[in-house]
Structure 1
Amino acid sequence: MKKHLAPDLSALISTAAAAQLLMVTPTWLRRLERDGWFAKAERGQYRLTDLVQGFIRYLRDEDRRATKTASFAKVQDSRAEEIQLRIDERRKVQIAAGQAAAVQVIDEFFGILKADLLAIPARVTLDVALRRKIEDEMGAAFGAAAKRACAAADCVENAGATINHAVHGAPRRKGHR
């Protein structure tokens, strides 16, 4: 019958053997020792009992695991926030492009309509004074409409600058004034 020998728990083992036993690198082992999980018995030597018990305490340590979990959650939250910011930025660009396209369509339509309407006084009457009066009233009506459009555009983000440029920008067609 084979006799089992009890291991010598006070035995000293080298850094390399301790690292191999715990399945960590010697550098990681020295970090655990520096952090106080176990102490060296002698230079480059660890007491087997202290080493194993210290490593078990390290693995069971709730504070370390909670900190690691909290750090991981913080990183995840930061990544999610960054992704959301990128999505919001893309949406802003898409909305601005859509608004600019809509304003361009409106500008094309109303620009031609305005030119057609301003041509009516010349077609209707030869009386220059009456024609100027009608043109002035139409100009005032167009000016009031432009102010209302700008006021309405101020309520919509990004549209204000586009409409202001369309209303107050360089005219596409020059009138007779």
Structure 2
Amino acid sequence: MEGEKLIEKLPLSSSWLEDIVDVLLKRPNGEGEIDSIVAALMRTDRDIGAEAESTVTRTINNYCRNSGDAEKKAKHEIFERLAPGCYRLLNYPSRPDLIEIQNIRFDDYAYQKAWELFYKSAAKDERWAAASKRKKLEAFSRSLLSNERLRDFLKACGSEPPEII
């Protein structure tokens, strides 16, 4: 099975960054004002909390090439500031690869624990440190398909392992 298909089967947690990117991918030219991004997020399942505007602004500014913060340079440039409170997705209409720049987290507790067990074991291999996060997730996915102990662990925790195809 192709690596991307394997990763898509995993219950990875969606981050604010991913949700913001999703909103801007649906907007003309990948552009949007903070208030319209927050309004779009309010129509999703995300719990946006009381400080949604500041959270969205902070998240965008962490990945903005010209956020106006002269002391802080974005390590990964995903957005561009067009005007106060208005931003554009730099690679619109393409989706940026967010896997490599974020922590790997799972919505499902059992998957998170299985990932931690797998990671601890796989880290003993010297090639692990040099592998991309995408390659690590692919290896984890393949292991979930073939490793009976991991599959049994997921089942014991009440989670369904991915289907073997």
Superposition TM-score, scaled by structure 2 size: 0.25
With structure 1 as the length reference, what TM-score do the two structures score?
0.23
Highest RCO, 1 vs 2 (Cα 8 Å, sep ≥ 6): 2
Larger Rg, first or second structure (1 or 2): 1
